[in-house]
Structure 1
């Protein structure tokens, strides 16, 4: 796929890239989609504006296009802030969205029960090393990561990679559960998998599918612009005429199932936090995690704060902050970027 286009004030270009299989299930590379967004607006006239580039990673069940409301607001706001955004790259997991459709046979045969977060990390690394990333995109790169996309970034890149590639990392509703809480996370994952088995997987029409999303969490809490993107990209039609999600429910469950690398994730977080600015963003509405897992996240956030990480709470938002509160999240990110010294050495 080499798909350019324009969506309002955003210009985008999507690519289908490949990455190796980290579990060596076969020699067939996995395909994934990466999309580059830029603005159609005139460049900021602020003389002291500095250029920042973004790399965004997705939560489970999120397609690249669901970042558009936030990216649009960041590009709009640059007219009044001393920050100019050059490009925003979004990387989808290989088992989500268009990648899930292209990899369908391989996912069904090799990744039905578990899809490693490290495999998403391999896709992120493949994009970082791709010649599709323009030379101008390689300066002052800021990672904006969401939920499982936080872990994917750390599994895909070493501490030295992160330090040399990124000026800072925003961790939005990350899944950084300490290892001592794994039994609680295991129960949570089992409950989520059971919930997915009970969810409808196919509908007779797009209207029926959209009605379901409008009446169920988390989608019914999405900002209207995010829901419009969901309507456009979340589904596909089968040969029999049924409507299904591009990302199979079993692949959402398979991604949740990879929680055996908590020790590695914690070590990576601690090592990176000592050398690169990190910014934790959480929603005010706490509904996704159990009481014990909320305790676990508090413990981890306190550890990271002692290493210098900041923490921001977005009022009225739940776990899917980028899709629920793009206005509030964009302001929070811009406020931090304006205050934050950005090293000119931070390059891909």
Structure 2
């Protein structure tokens, strides 16, 4: 089953269409499939006329709490700036986790009955795989396909399919502020997750008005550090209104916590990373402002990044950015991505 919701704005360098798709449950509690949203963005601008220009397509995944709309400021820049770049973005697909955004609303009964405490990141991977197998993603969208992943969305991609299938589908992978914590650091990650869950329990779950909800975000991390354009996108898509008139987050706070709680899959993620290193070109992008992780978890990330770099991964640090680089520094991230895309090999790679 799929339904599409097109959106075209004459002032945008792109058009978009959102689809509600289905994927099976990784942990089968019933025959009810998960629903999730996938959005296709495509350029409305003329193709680059630069000699040697080539086209790539993107598949983007979201951080915990994120949605397709959070990527709009970056995509706007990628599509706008490509007229002077030797790399052109043809289509960009954003896959949302089934317990986030519209999926969180559509799957509410299933999530409350079976996934209230832990939501497996592999289920997000199943959604990615379902999109790649969907007829809505035609063969042209799969040619020179590059993954742009953020935070927990990095792990979701690696859970989507075996490494051999990843390498046959994707020309390269951007890992933006990924959560690639080695398994021996799990006790420190568990402490971090517990602190995050406690924070979610303490923060407001409802507001009397939309303005009150926006005021809350404007004074809290990480949202207050968002670029104004990204903050506007956040406010217009992060909330929904209940039948009683209360304003709540579209993604239930318990589902943000439940996604964090899947940290034990760090073992599988670590194995997948090690298997992919040197097989799929990887580009690590991190922010210079280090606030999210503890000292021990920073050490863990450094260990993993050094391992990946020894096996050929590139690494870029963006000044002034924290964990939410796509929302904090869309201009700087766009330039980094386009610069790397220009240098990528242009041999077409598409799954048949």
TM tier relative to shorter chain: over 0.9
Corresponding residue of 2:7: 5
Structure-1 separation of matches of 2:297 and 2:34: 32
From 233, 236, 239, give the equivalent of 2:237: 233
Structure-1 separation of matches of 2:183 and 2:195: 19
The alignment status of 1:45 with 2:49, answered yes or no, reads yes
Alignment of 1:145-164 (within 5 A): 145-164=149-168
Corresponding residue of 1:17: 21
Structure-1 separation of matches of 2:108 and 2:79: 35
Counterpart contact for 2:102–2:250, Cα < 8 Å = yes
Corresponding residue of 1:336: 340
Counterpart contact for 1:59–1:146, Cα < 8 Å = yes
Counterpart contact for 2:59–2:93, Cα < 8 Å = yes
Structure-2 separation of matches of 1:143 and 1:184: 29
> Residues 63-93 of structure 1: CA distance to partner in whole angstroms, max 9, x if unpaired?
1111000011011111001111110000000
Describe the SS at the equivalent of 2:45. Answer: coil
How far apart are 1:177 and its partner, in Å? Answer: 0.2
From 182, 188, 193, give the equivalent of 2:192: 188
How far apart are 1:137 and its partner, in Å? Answer: 0.5
Structure-1 separation of matches of 2:165 and 2:129: 10
Structure-1 separation of matches of 2:5 and 2:34: 19
Counterpart contact for 2:159–2:269, Cα < 8 Å = yes
The alignment status of 1:58 with 2:81, answered yes or no, reads no
Corresponding residue of 2:291: 287
The alignment status of 1:266 with 2:273, answered yes or no, reads no
Report the TM-score, using the length of structure 2 for normalisation: 0.97
Corresponding residue of 1:84: 88
From 79, 97, 118, give the equivalent of 1:93: 97
From 136, 140, 143, give the equivalent of 2:144: 140
Corresponding residue of 1:113: 117
Counterpart contact for 1:35–1:90, Cα < 8 Å = yes
Corresponding residue of 1:172: 176
How far apart are 1:346 and its partner, in Å? Answer: 4.4
Corresponding residue of 1:127: 131
How far apart are 1:345 and its partner, in Å? Answer: 3.0
Unaligned ranges ≥5, structure 1: none
Structure-1 separation of matches of 2:77 and 2:271: 34
| Superposition misfits of 4+ residues, deviation over 6 angstroms | none
How far apart are 1:2 and its partner, in Å? Answer: 1.3
Q: Which moved more, 1:263-272 or 1:166-175?
A: 263-272
Alignment of 1:292-331 (within 5 A): 292-331=296-335
Counterpart contact for 2:239–2:249, Cα < 8 Å = yes
> Residues 209-257 of structure 1: CA distance to partner in whole angstroms, max 9, x if unpaired?
0000011011111011111111111100000000000000000000000
Counterpart contact for 2:69–2:233, Cα < 8 Å = yes
Counterpart contact for 1:167–1:342, Cα < 8 Å = no
Structure-2 separation of matches of 1:140 and 1:324: 27
Unaligned ranges ≥5, structure 2: none
> Residues 17-70 of structure 1: CA distance to partner in whole angstroms, max 9, x if unpaired?
000000011110000000000111112122311110000000000111110000
Counterpart contact for 1:57–1:90, Cα < 8 Å = yes
